[in-house]
Structure 1
Amino acid sequence: MSVTAQSVWDNCLSFIKDNIQPQAYKTWFEPIKPVKLTNKALSIQVPSKFFYEWLEEHYVKLLKVALVKELGNTARLVYIIKMENTYGNKKPFTEKIPSANRSNVKAQEVDVPIKNKSPELKNPFVIPGIRNVKIESQLNPNYNFDNFLEGDSNRLARSAGMAVANKPGGTSFNPLLIFGGVGLGKTHIAHAIGVEIKDKYPEKTVLYISAEKFTQQYIESVKKNTRNDFIHFYQLIDVLIIDDVQFFSGKSGTQDVFFHIFNHLHQNGKQVILTSDKAPVDMQDIEQRLLSRFKWGLSAELQTPDFETRVSIVKNKLYRDGVEMPDDIIEYVAKNIKSNVRELEGAIISLIAQSSFNKKEVTIDLAKQVVEKFVKNTKREVSIDYIQKVVSDYFQMDVSTLQSKTRKRHIVQARQLAMFFAKKFTKASLASIGSQIGKRDHATVLHACKTVDNLSSTDKQFRKYVEDLTKKLSL
């Protein structure tokens, strides 16, 4: 039986498979293709330079033992890197590199040169004319885990954030997508993860950026013909945090460039953290290939904090500001401002300001005045519970009837209207709406919204229901 590259490699794989974890074998050895066997030198094809570097760093001894076992002490291994260049060059490139630790071999020439290697990497955060090679993290140290209080509404997101901070790129939470309505702490927790990583791993390059600024930088790079510099810069990052990723909606060029950056970072074991005002399933005009990657890791929802959590947030805010306040006033504020953390903290700041500027003692009456003005001047966020109550009252039924499994036409329509208005007036995800309105799934909510849209345009009586309820919920 003649010895071929395939037969030698198959025997090597049998040995390797017995000596490493199944997942590592699948990731790092299954994609390799044996190409040729020449004078005890086995050439293997790998999909990227990173792939080759990883093999050399982590599995070179195992490869050496396997190869010597098959071909003897003079065995040599040559890597052939073959991949499509994702940045616009049409030619794939092939580079032959002899394995490290083989001092008797000279490096072979590159068949097709790798283009786009810039001697001076452009940092989009550096002002032109100012020399600055260090990448600043753009993190706000005031946003940390110490002042991000845990409650039922944020426990999953906070715990996942802590896990990522302890082991960036080394957990299954990659990417970590944190989503939820305005003022619930998405930006806070994103910064907190970055701040914690910088503290634990000072050598890692961490970068926080809003999706809007990322898009502006990308547009600028296209104008100046420095797109590849832009891509290469972001490929250097160890931990990339992008805030408000829903801003990419409809921007195909930005989505395309982020897709390549994301792939590179993820394949290289780097950490990606994203925030959004909605779950991946609810994002509009985002390419399917990006949405599928958003779902690779963990999507954690931040919900409206419950009463106990709101009380804790107020007390923590007062403690940090060195202010004392009676418990009954704290509870009054927490009870009446429910929508989000930002409004809650804003009300406390207003209360302290009113008290100190007017030299008034903080009383329950002062608290009522401040909360009343604050709530009046703040756009009210309608809750799903409130929507269900308004719709149930309008159709003269109980909320439990609205949520029931019955298929009676008028109850089904009321339920569909509640789902439609929950999507219209709240920031809740479709899954969250379905869960709160009779434990339905997101597909049922999506169907309900389409049905309401269709009936509104074809059924005069149904259109009146929509108009009446819109007025009631907009008051």
Structure 2
Amino acid sequence: MAKTAETVWINCLKIIKDIVEWQHFKTWFEPIKPVELKESVLMIQVPSQFFFEYLEEHYVNLLAKTLKRELGKEARLEYRIMVDSGNNGRNGSMDIPASTARTYTNNEMDFPLVINNPVKNPFVIPGLKKMQIDPQLNPIYTFDAFIEGDCNRVARRAGKTVAEKPGANSFNPLVIYGGVGLGKTHLAQSIGNEVKRLHPNKVVLYVSSEKFINQFQDHSRNNAINDFIHFYQLIDVLMIDDVQFFARAEKSQDAFFAIFNHLHQSGKQLILTSDKAPKDLDGMQERLLSRFRWGLSADLQLPDYDTRIEILEKKMKNDGLDMPKEVVKYVAYNISTNVRELEGALISLLAQSSLNKREIDLELAKKVLRNFVKTSSKEITIEAIQKMVCEYFDVSYDKLLQKTRKREIVQARQITMYLAKAFTKNSLKTIGEHFGGRDHTTVIHSCQTVKDLMDTDSLFRENVMELTQKVQLAAM
């Protein structure tokens, strides 16, 4: 049966769906439509220029691999971008010329050590010169792009020290550890990029532990372990990402032990990242763990609210984006797990805005964040909301219940009732009883008053939004 654009793309999606996170799959792959298949060239239609650029930047390797599985090594991908045709209000399309379409080659080879001359086996190169080694660094990872906060201050400042004096500092090795998406890779590569800027003659290399293990196994099968070890001994600043994966590779640990000793004794710099502190790494040789403890172990923690705000604002500034302040606050309040999730939420907002051709507002943010924020497993109480509001407005609990006409007390009580109705399962009568025995009509009036004031008073609306987000955080 002859292949069609639809069948090829459906088969590609089956593979991609198992690799990409569900939300990212929904955002970036479901809107794509297959258009045409000519021999080994598949044309796909994407909704906007923004989509095209994002796919090229973030998913080009994945698209290449899946397409090659379907169409062979000569597979190529071309794009058709939907464009707004202007006055007639209809959508048109624009094909990217074949000359600018991306042609995929073998992206599965080992990293190229000789610039502009990729080789299958990079380690056995006669007369290999040190300066020919590609550092494998992403230039977007810099210290300027890494927001400093209480959650990462020690690690970031230690990284700066290492970059300024690689190998000639007391942080050797520098072990950066923390959970997923907190910036370990970013910080490690920031050090590498800064070293290249300050010390252009230094030989820098970033490699994941998985890549290291795979390369070691390849060279072991070819009886070329000495070549492998010798190559790594050429490096001045070596960064190994996710060293916890060495736990399942005993022989790779032996090779790394030899490399570590040589580099350390030669005054070279080692930077390691891990999801756990060295003392908590299981399956690692004790002699390696003891060496990890020679330098500094610095952890990355969950970013606090203010740091999350800074991260979002920095990301927006770098990308030339603008969002209402209330939306930025809403995202920062509700995404507290890690930086990757935070940036993912921002990207999804932009994607939805582009797809739906609408401005980013609080309503759109709430819709998008439903896919990021887990359903609450805790039930918030009226008492907890009362306490939050009292602390926020610096009002005593007793005053909140008193019969008074003071504006600040009345508004605090009305906001509390409004939040109690929104976030608890209590009846209007029960809510009223928690405010000095008031009846349900008072609660209804209070809720309507809050809604009306939010439409007319920007400061009042901001106060309600901040309290809403505080309640949401407490319920997570």
TM-score band, normalised by the shorter chain?
0.5 to 0.7
1-structure distance, mates of 2:251, 2:332: 44
Distance 1:307 1:123, change over 3 A: closer
Q: Please state how far the C-alpha of 1:327 moved relative to its aligned partner.
A: 1.0
**Which secondary structure does the structure 2 equivalent of 1:152 belong to?**
coil
Pick one of 211, 216, 219 that aligns with 1:218.
Answer: 216
Q: Please state how far the C-alpha of 1:355 moved relative to its aligned partner.
A: 1.3
**Which secondary structure does the structure 1 equivalent of 2:148 belong to?**
coil
Pick one of 113, 127, 140 that aligns with 2:138.
Answer: 140
- Per-residue CA deviations over 1:107-156 (Å, capped at 9, x if unaligned) read xxxxxxxxxxxxxxx99845148977411100111111110000000000
Pick one of 259, 271, 280 that aligns with 1:273.
Answer: 271
| 2:195 paired residue number | 197
Q: Where do 1:5-404 residues align within 5 Å?
A: 125=113, 127-128=119-120, 133=129, 134-376=132-374
Q: Which amino acid aligns with 1:127?
A: V
**Which secondary structure does the structure 1 equivalent of 2:195 belong to?**
helix
1-structure distance, mates of 2:373, 2:143: 28
**Which secondary structure does the structure 2 equivalent of 1:249 belong to?**
helix
- Per-residue CA deviations over 1:274-295 (Å, capped at 9, x if unaligned) read 0000001110000000000000
Paired residues, what number? 261
2-structure distance, mates of 1:228, 1:124: 19
1-structure distance, mates of 2:292, 2:364: 46
Task: Indicate the larger mover: 321-330 or 332-341.
Answer: 321-330
Fraction of identical pairs, as percent:
58
2-structure distance, mates of 1:128, 1:211: 19
**Which secondary structure does the structure 1 equivalent of 2:206 belong to?**
strand
Quick check: 1:143–1:188 contact (8 Å CA) kept in 2?
yes
Quick check: 2:238–2:271 contact (8 Å CA) kept in 1?
yes
2-structure distance, mates of 1:365, 1:129: 53
TM value normalised by structure 1: 0.53
Distance 1:129 1:207, change over 3 A: closer
2-structure distance, mates of 1:363, 1:264: 56
Quick check: 1:209–1:243 contact (8 Å CA) kept in 2?
yes
**Which secondary structure does the structure 1 equivalent of 2:373 belong to?**
helix
Quick check: 1:246–1:283 contact (8 Å CA) kept in 2?
yes
2-structure distance, mates of 1:272, 1:205: 12
**Which secondary structure does the structure 2 equivalent of 1:274 belong to?**
strand
2-structure distance, mates of 1:300, 1:376: 29
Quick check: 2:112–2:134 contact (8 Å CA) kept in 1?
no
Quick check: 1:124–1:217 contact (8 Å CA) kept in 2?
no
TM value normalised by structure 2: 0.53
Q: Where do 1:426-465 residues align within 5 Å?
A: none
**Which secondary structure does the structure 2 equivalent of 1:375 belong to?**
coil
Q: Please state how far the C-alpha of 1:225 moved relative to its aligned partner.
A: 0.7
Distance 1:238 1:336, change over 3 A: same
2-structure distance, mates of 1:361, 1:217: 48
Q: Please state how far the C-alpha of 1:216 moved relative to its aligned partner.
A: 0.6
Q: Which amino acid aligns with 1:300?
A: A
Q: Which amino acid aligns with 1:316?
A: K
**Which secondary structure does the structure 2 equivalent of 1:164 belong to?**
helix
Q: Which amino acid aligns with 2:172?
A: N
- Per-residue CA deviations over 1:43-88 (Å, capped at 9, x if unaligned) read xxxxxxxxxxxxxxxxxxxxxxxxxxxxxxxxxxxxxxxxxxxxxx
2-structure distance, mates of 1:259, 1:168: 20
Quick check: 1:144–1:188 contact (8 Å CA) kept in 2?
yes
Quick check: 2:136–2:206 contact (8 Å CA) kept in 1?
yes
**Which secondary structure does the structure 2 equivalent of 1:365 belong to?**
helix
- Per-residue CA deviations over 1:232-289 (Å, capped at 9, x if unaligned) read 1111100000000001003110111100100000000000000000001110000000
Quick check: 1:124–1:230 contact (8 Å CA) kept in 2?
no
**Which secondary structure does the structure 1 equivalent of 2:302 belong to?**
coil
Distance 1:331 1:213, change over 3 A: same
Quick check: 1:347–1:371 contact (8 Å CA) kept in 2?
yes
1-structure distance, mates of 2:162, 2:366: 42
Q: Please state how far the C-alpha of 1:226 moved relative to its aligned partner.
A: 0.7
**Which secondary structure does the structure 1 equivalent of 2:207 belong to?**
strand
2-structure distance, mates of 1:360, 1:195: 38
1-structure distance, mates of 2:248, 2:350: 43
Q: Please state how far the C-alpha of 1:376 moved relative to its aligned partner.
A: 4.7
Quick check: 1:183–1:343 contact (8 Å CA) kept in 2?
yes
| 1:441 paired residue number | none
Considering only aligned residues, what root-mean-square deviation do their CA atoms show, in Å?
2.3
2-structure distance, mates of 1:260, 1:187: 24
Quick check: 1:123–1:230 contact (8 Å CA) kept in 2?
no
Distance 1:341 1:276, change over 3 A: same
Quick check: 2:176–2:299 contact (8 Å CA) kept in 1?
yes
Q: Please state how far the C-alpha of 1:374 moved relative to its aligned partner.
A: 2.4
Quick check: 2:312–2:343 contact (8 Å CA) kept in 1?
yes
**Which secondary structure does the structure 2 equivalent of 1:353 belong to?**
helix
Quick check: 1:123–1:233 contact (8 Å CA) kept in 2?
no
